[in-house]
Amino acid sequence: MTVIYFTDGALIEDLHVRKSLLRIPDIIQCLRENQKEFLNCDLFIAMMDQKVFSQLNYHQKLRLKFLLQQALFQRWARQGVEPDLIIRRQDYMDFAQLTSTFVKLSTIETMQVVTIGPGFDELEAFLRLNLKLKSCPLYDMISQDPNLGWFWEDVKNGIQLHS
């Protein structure tokens, strides 16, 4: 069973991550196609400048995260794998509800969770430590993409340094 899990997109708040996302052609196309939604803001500058990104209001940031995640998901979907289930972190009131869903899913013998983040969130630690799932590997979509993995490992290491 393949489960697509959309994180809350918190890593998109990180300037280093946003700059790195601009290496992905699908992200550039997404920004071009949706620029008109963001009045008085250049999305490319917002991706490259923390001050400009900070000036986006809550709804604009949420929309930008959604658009970026959709672009990543569409890239993943072009691989021809059809997900069995899509779970979005934003659809759950709190983390306990989300973990309850994954506790139920953990009974499935062969399950693969592909995160559309970028990166992971607290769910990774829960699955690995609390449920001790060995039959439920988590994959970060960007890390698993052979055309993107070459730079993403450095980005993940850089996140720890910049956070």
Asked if the model's pLDDT at residue 134 lies above 70, the reply is no
pLDDT for position 81: 86
| Per-residue pLDDT at 5 | 94
Q: Stretch 129-147: mean pLDDT, rounded?
A: 72
Q: Tell me, what CATH number does 70's domain have?
A: 3.40.366
Percent of the chain with pLDDT over 90: 53
The predicted pLDDT at position 136 comes to 58
**Can you spell out the DSSP letters for 100-155?**
HHHHHHTTSSS-EEEEESSS--HHHHIIIIIS--SSS-EEEHHHH-TTTHHHHHHH
Q: Provide the residue range defining the domain that includes 63.
A: 2-162
Q: What is the pLDDT of residue 163?
A: 37
